[in-house]
Amino acid sequence: MKLPTRVKIVDVGPRDGLQNEPETLPPQTRAELVNRLGAARLPRIEAASFVRPDAVPQMADAEQVVEAIERRDGTEYSGLALNVRGYERLVATGLDRVNFTLAATESFSRRNANQSLAEARAAAREVLERSELPVTLTISVAFGCPFEGKVDPGAVAELASEFGGAEVVLADTIGVATPRQVRALVERTHAPGVHLHNTRNTGYANAEAALDAGATLFDASCAGLGGCPYAPRATGNIATEDLVYLFEGDGIDTGVDLDALVATSTWLEGLLGRQLEGQVYRAGAWAGSTASRND
């Protein structure tokens, strides 16, 4: 298969990155992160999550976050919803895209969304029927579940085919996938996107495998922030700046300003008061790389 010459990277740091932090940042600070990512020319940013604040307090006041965003031409702003009520809140804010997430397993659906898988599928169908916004359907725990173990690829393929009207993203929520597994599932489902975690240091190899299989949409989180409150030990997403460096170095255009992205991750490190998981923001973009000359 011929590799794409350009990919779209979605920074999920303001949502998936911050939702696992021990402290809840003020809405204005979360909006500033979105604005910094927009200034770095991210083509899509997941700005907020429309979930119950008692369930994920780090994502409270999503409407205030969206209100404080300085919209940038060329950047699409999305939000996450797990049910119809979350979708309705999202639409009311004027965001550009819905990211509706449902699990590949019954146990994770009940833990993460407080609904059965059948209920989640019904909600996803309702959102797709009602939405005037474009919809991304993210299938969480597509490669492995913290409660049920290995996930049947056939079950994931069935879910993906059920929602053909959406942009499907396969999520390695707990970071257990390996490159051959990722390549096989992307090829089987024809999913355009993946959401990868680097929990077991396979995230970047998995991104390359997904690219080889035809994926052109990649979720990542600035500085490698992230994890899932309902998935034990599901640590960081792949770092956006590391993925940009990797792809750009191989001649695949992302359109992202790597230097601005590195500056954003450095700002985050100071804000959170600890060294973060990403590598490139600490090492710096090598002066001889294609990525460091992105303009």
User: How would you classify the pairing of strands 144-145 and 149-150?
Assistant: antiparallel
For residue 165, give Cα distances in angstroms to 13, 125, 162, 219.
26, 10, 9, 20
> Widest CA span of the chain, in angstroms?
52
Residue 34 to residue 30: CA distance in whole angstroms: 7
3-class SS of residue 6:
strand
For residue 169, give Cα distances in angstroms to 74, 110, 132, 159, 192.
21, 20, 20, 11, 7
Catalytic: which of 127, 185, 210, 228? 228
222 in active site: no
Residue 119 to residue 124: CA distance in whole angstroms: 9
Residue 166 to residue 157: CA distance in whole angstroms: 14
DSSP-assigned states of every residue in 96-147: SEEEEEEESSHHHHHHHHSS-HHHHHHHHHHHHHH-SS-EEEEEETSSEETT
User: In the block, which residue shows the tokens 């992302």?
Assistant: 254
Helix axes 179-189, 203-212, angle to 10 degrees: 40
Tokens of 153: 């690829």
3-class SS of residue 158:
helix
Q: What is the DSSP letter of 291?
A: G
- Which residues are identified as catalytic? 228
